[in-house]
Amino acid sequence: MDNYIVSARKYRPVTFRSVVGQEALTTTLKNAIAGNKLAHAYLFCGPRGVGKTTCARIFAKTINCLNPTPGHDACNQCESCVAFNEQRSYNIHELDAASNNSVDDIRSLIDQVRIPPQIGKYKVYIIDEVHMLSTSAFNSFLKTLEEPPAHAIFILATTEKHKIIPTILSRCQVYDFNRISIADIVNHLQYVAQEENVIAEPEALNIIAQKADGGMRDALSIFDQTVSYTAGNVTYKSVIENLNVLDFEYYFKLTDAILAGSVVDCLLVLNDILNRGFEGQYIISGITSHFRDLLVCKDPVTAKLFEVGASIREKYIATAKQCSNTFLYKAIEISNDCDLNYRMSKNKRLLLELTLIKLCQLSESPADSKNELKPVTPPEKVQPKAKTEPVQTQQIVSEPKPEIKPASQTGQKRSTAISIAGLGVSLSSLTEENQEKPDETDKPQEAESGQNNRLFTEEELQKAWQLFAENLDEEKLLKNTMMLYKPKMLGNTVFEVEVNTEINKNYLDEYGSAILSYLRESLLNDDITMTIKISDAVAVKKPLTSREIFEELAQKNTSLQKLSDEFDLELS
């Protein structure tokens, strides 16, 4: 059985041309070799798996090649190249600073630097993870790094440039390696899959590239893992299962439910995602990124910023057409706020659900939304009962107010059945304006009759007040309040209701407009005004101690004090 070599080692670049995603740096190094303008110290810094050590090895091999090609690459045939390929070169030394970070290790290195190369022109020292060196080791290395022998070249590699002391940085040429783009990683993975006779879907490779986060070594390791899981048939579904990545379909389901304003569907999708083991922070950050991607796909110019497979990109573009820019702006803001507050929340699932409810309400009026929650489902409006005469109805949707239904009544006055609906409110048959407009010939008669400023007595007012309260079917608290407190006239059109508590006052204030509408219609006076006050007789007494209670009782009954003195009682 042949020894298996992982793809990250098997397909490691051996020439500058095969290095992926670092064209600017490799071109600079090749030009330096071609112009024979080599520095004595280089610092390669950047994220993991982007080619720092690989470029250092290629550079060391190339400058020691005895017969370089016209393109200034190593020939792979001379004695120096063969020794390097067989890992027995004495001119190229690699030192792991993570485990050799003491002053003694650096002194040993300095002693080796003095020995000239046996083959080739240069002795190259590659020090990996150089930020792990101690401060004393750095200081002991300064002099040699600044003025090394002519045959010595140092290449320092690190993932944490900020930990390198400034005196080292000033002695090196610094090369910053970038994260490899998703497109470059996907192209390289396709090449590897073709070489290994592996069938791979572009969407699957794209997920691997996103998971690698700009590191080619990580991408190749994930690729090997996925190939083992799928037995050589890498599909999108198998990759998201193996890597436990949230499928794009869940985000599209959430978007469709949000656009439809369906809170129920959103909560069901969220429950499904949580049951699959995904953490809430991952979910909300994914939703935020999803809305960002939809915003990017709104314009063909910015759509290129969205690095995914062709089929997924088309789906994003189609979904983006259904969303307005205002909706996406507000959705990103709400999702981002949830992401920021997630760690501090004690009920994390509730925070996610409230965020989805807010997002569902954006589809109604995104421009006017201020992040306040509205009713999840629209309230059912109660229709008025059949009337004996045609009357116009006026719909008023605002704060919760009573809904009045007309019913039969003796005489010219109309009796009404009153019910307070929860949120949507319908007030019908309240004023003369709600009735059908009279003919122009009736106006003089209406003016002469004076229906709308009729004088009334306190007894009539209390009777209308009582009738309103008796016909309340659902609002028991309002009914009890009106039955308990009676109105008293202060003037011809002004009356006052004196209550005992703030709660009663607030309740009458809340439904005051409906009460007044009914009274004005019943008493035929549009100027009726109601004032509500809390009785001054209701005083809040402070809690008394046992001694204070006894003294108060003793003042009313002197026998209690005599009894206390006779038995020598003491009260705290």
Complete DSSP assignment for 122-173:
-EEEEEETGGGS-HHHHHHHHHHHHS--TTEEEEEEES-GGGS-HHHHTTSE
Q: Which segments of 424-513 are extended strands (E)?
A: 425-428, 487-489, 494-499
Long-range contacts of 349-358 (CB under 8 A, 24+ apart): 349/274, 349/280, 351/280, 352/270, 352/280, 352/283, 352/284, 353/267, 353/270, 355/284, 356/254, 356/258, 356/263, 356/266, 356/267, 356/270, 357/263, 357/266, 358/334
More confident residue, 451 or 162: 162
Average pLDDT over residues 35-52: 90
Query: Burial letters for 467-482: b for 16+ Cβ neighbours within 10 Å, e otherwise?
Result: bbbebbeebeebbebb
Per-residue pLDDT, 44: 92
Average pLDDT over residues 121-134: 90
pLDDT at 42 over 90: yes
Per-residue pLDDT, 331: 92
The pLDDT-based confidence of 388 (bands split at 50, 70, 90) is very low
54 SS3 class: helix
Separation of first and last alpha carbons in the chain: 95
Q: Using one digit for the tens of pLDDT, what is the confidence trace for 518-557?
A: 888 888 888 888 888 887 765 445 566 777 777 777 777 7
219: Cβ contacts below 8 Å, ≥ 6 apart: 49, 180, 185, 188, 189, 208, 209, 211, 212
Q: How far apart are CA 435 and CA 389, in angstroms?
A: 10
Q: How far apart are CA 81 and CA 302, in angstroms?
A: 46
DSSP 405-441: EEE--SSSSPEEEEEE-SSSEEEES-SGGGBPPPPGG
Q: How far apart are CA 209 and CA 187, in angstroms?
A: 10
351 SS3 class: helix
321: Cβ contacts below 8 Å, ≥ 6 apart: 298
Q: Using one digit for the tens of pLDDT, what is the confidence trace for 307-319?
A: 776 678 888 888 8
Please, what are the domains in the chain? Answer: 7-176 (3.40.50.300), 182-243 (1.10.8.60), 248-362 (1.20.272.10), 393-437+452-487+506-528 (no CATH)
125 — phi, psi (to 5°)? -115, 110
pLDDT at 429 over 50: no
The one-letter amino acid at 10:
K
The pLDDT-based confidence of 373 (bands split at 50, 70, 90) is low
**What's the Cα-to-Cα distance from 205 to each of 58, 193, 201, 227, 445, rounded to whole Å?**
27, 10, 6, 11, 86
Q: How far apart are CA 550 and CA 527, in angstroms?
A: 54
HSE toward the beta carbon, residue 369, CA cutoff 13 A: 22
Task: Tell me the average pLDDT of the chain.
Answer: 79
DSSP state at residue 366: T
pLDDT at 383 over 60: no
Q: Residue length, the chain? A: 572
Q: Beta-carbon neighbour count of residue 181 at 10 Å? A: 14
pLDDT at 506 over 50: yes
Average pLDDT over residues 473-489: 81
Q: Please tell me the least confidently modeled range out of 121-130, 206-215, 235-244, 470-479.
A: 470-479
Per-residue pLDDT, 374: 59
Q: How far apart are CA 469 and CA 479, in angstroms?
A: 5
Per-residue pLDDT, 376: 54
pLDDT at 43 over 90: yes
Token couple for 545: 């101690």
The pLDDT-based confidence of 334 (bands split at 50, 70, 90) is very high
Q: How far apart are CA 295 and CA 323, in angstroms?
A: 9
Q: Please tell me the least confidently modeled range out of 150-164, 179-193, 326-340, 386-400.
A: 386-400
**Cα torsion at 96, 101, 102, 108 (round to 10°)?**
30
Per-residue pLDDT, 519: 87
Average pLDDT over residues 284-307: 84
570: Cβ contacts below 8 Å, ≥ 6 apart: none
Token couple for 402: 């009573």
Average pLDDT over residues 297-315: 76
Q: How far apart are CA 401 and CA 192, in angstroms?
A: 70
Per-residue pLDDT, 375: 58
pLDDT at 497 over 70: yes
Per-residue pLDDT, 513: 86
Q: Please tell me the least confidently modeled range out of 139-143, 161-165, 362-366, 519-523.
A: 362-366
The pLDDT-based confidence of 402 (bands split at 50, 70, 90) is very low
Q: With pLDDT > 70 as the criterion, what percentage of the chain qualifies?
A: 82
Q: How far apart are CA 28 and CA 42, in angstroms?
A: 12
464 SS3 class: helix
Per-residue pLDDT, 537: 61
pLDDT at 406 over 80: no
Q: How far apart are CA 69 and CA 48, in angstroms?
A: 31
Q: Please tell me the least confidently modeled range out of 5-19, 74-88, 99-113, 527-541.
A: 527-541
Per-residue pLDDT, 409: 40
* Whole-prediction pTM: 0.58
Average pLDDT over residues 20-43: 89
Q: Which of 219-233, 302-316, 435-449, 498-512 is most confident?
A: 219-233
pLDDT at 57 over 60: yes
| Helix H or strand E segment including 92 | strand 92-96
Q: How far apart are CA 547 and CA 115, in angstroms?
A: 101
Q: How far apart are CA 418 and CA 382, in angstroms?
A: 11
Query: Helix, strand, coil proportions of the chain in percent (round to 5)?
Result: 50, 10, 40
DSSP state at residue 373: -
Q: How far apart are CA 377 and CA 361, in angstroms?
A: 10
Q: Which of 116, 234, 238 is nearest to 186 (CA)?
A: 234
What burial class does residue 49 get, using C-beta atoms within 10 Å of its C-beta: 0-12 exposed, 13-18 middle, 19+ buried? buried
pLDDT at 91 over 80: yes
The pLDDT-based confidence of 330 (bands split at 50, 70, 90) is very high
The pLDDT-based confidence of 284 (bands split at 50, 70, 90) is very high
- Look at strands 425-428 and 233-234 and give their pairing: unpaired
Per-residue pLDDT, 572: 59
The one-letter amino acid at 494:
V
